[in-house]
């Protein structure tokens, strides 16, 4: 019997954009995930964080133009 567990698992927290669920350890496909985040509470705010980062990038682009 072989042990297929990852000997160095990623301990981060992820937000699944397809299911709108937070995931830890057992994760879905990477294309559906935002993260990693340091903790569950931050992962739950993933969409809010992404919106804020987009607003900041858009403002920087506008200032650059």
* Domain of 43, in residue numbers: 13-64
DSSP label of 45: T
User: Is 41 within the bounds of a domain?
Assistant: yes
CB atoms within 10 A of CB 38: 11
pLDDT of residue 27: 87
The pTM (predicted TM-score) of the whole model is 0.75
User: Is 3 within the bounds of a domain?
Assistant: no
pLDDT at 3 over 90: no
Per-residue pLDDT averaged across 2-30, rounded?
Answer: 83
User: Is 2 within the bounds of a domain?
Assistant: no
pLDDT of residue 25: 86
Total tally of structural domains belonging to the chain: 1
44 contacts: CB under 8 Å, gap ≥ 6: 15, 22
Residues 18-59 pLDDT 10s: 999 999 988 889 999 999 999 999 999 999 999 999 999 999
User: DSSP H helical segments within 1-65, as ranges?
Assistant: 40-44, 46-64
pLDDT at 4 over 90: no
């Amino acid at each position: 019997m072989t042990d297929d567990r990852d000997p160095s698992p990623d301990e981060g927290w992820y937000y699944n954009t397809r299911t709108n669920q937070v995931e830890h350890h057992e994760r879905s496909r990477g294309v559906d995930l935002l993260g990693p985040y340091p903790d569950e509470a931050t992962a739950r705010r993933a969409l809010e964080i992404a919106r804020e980062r987009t607003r900041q990038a858009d403002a920087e682009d506008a200032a650059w133009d």
